[in-house]
Amino acid sequence: MSIVVAFANQKGGVGKTTTVVNIARAAITNHRLTVLVIDADPQGNATKVLAPNHQGSLPHSLATVIGRTAHSPISTAAVASDWTGLDVVPSGGDDLANAAQDLVTMTAGRESRLKKAITEISDRYDLILIDCPPSLDQLPINAFTAADALVLVAELGQFALDGLDRLLDTVEVIQEYTNPELTIVAAIINDVQKTKRMDYWMRELRDSIAHLPEPVPVLDPPVQRATFIAEAQESGQGLDMWGTVKARVLHQTYADYLTSILQSIKNGENRNDSEV
């Protein structure tokens, strides 16, 4: 059975796709896992980085897997990336936005379409990573319903925490109605600059997360702002391929993040087992 992890924040541009791409890379290299990235964002940024020949409207994509007139098994939509051990379900671009819109008018089962689709391939991958869009519509709802765990990707700053409450409310609703097992296993802080102001915002973030019913670990160290991160991503290279010490160190940080995430999921499963 694969482990399914969704990466989310309804705020745009905080580093969700960057985190998914780099954790996927660490998963296939350091952890030696077989990985599927599902691009659940009509912007298609994960597709652009990992499967650039499969952008936009396609005969088979996430849009045709979960759309109202769904006709693609997810195994048909998955394509090989340039990285050995990593497949991608391309988003389908605008088709995915339209498919999500169509789901709104469905009477039943709309939240579970991705979950149902994933069951077909759950013995094929060790790890499935879902890159969520910056919204709280049917796409993240499908992702949260399908996921074993959710990783919050956040940046620091005056507006960074705005909207976090809405995301957490959505998670609570999902836990109540469609996925009682969903846990926020970690917060990854991205794009940090070393200033006193950042220390202040880091404390604010830790404070707001500390008040949740289940404490969410903030993974250390946070990811600094660095041009090579964007450059490596734009050129489709893993940080381990980039050729600088800083990039290799950051690659290891993402591998360590994945170790923590997998450990938290395992601890949660053990806790649930002992409660039965």
> 43 or 112: whose CB is closer to ligand ATP?
43
Instruction: Write each residue from 191 to 230 as x if it is in contact with ligand ATP (CB under 6 A), else as -, in one continuous string.
Output: x-------------------------------x-xx--xx
> 13 or 215: whose CB is closer to ligand ATP?
13
Q: Does 27 bind ligand ATP (CB under 6 A)?
A: no
Q: From the CB of 44, what's the least distance to Mg ion, in Å?
A: 9
57: left (phi over 0), alpha (psi -120 to 50) or beta: beta
Within 13 Å of residue 225, how many CA atoms lie on the same side as its CB? Answer: 10
Task: State which of residues 64, 179, 190, 264 lies at the interface with ligand ATP (CB under 6 A).
Answer: 190
Of 144, 173, 194, residue with least CA distance to 38: 144
> 114 or 121: whose CB is closer to ligand ATP?
114
Q: How far apart are the first and last CA of the chain?
A: 20
Q: From the CB of 208, what's the least distance to ligand ATP, in Å?
A: 19
Q: From the CB of 13, what's the least distance to Mg ion, in Å?
A: 8
Do 148 and 265 form a contact (C-beta atoms < 8 A)? yes
Chain residues that interact with ligand ATP, rule: CB under 6 A = 12-18, 41, 43, 45, 134, 190-191, 223, 225-226, 229-230, 233
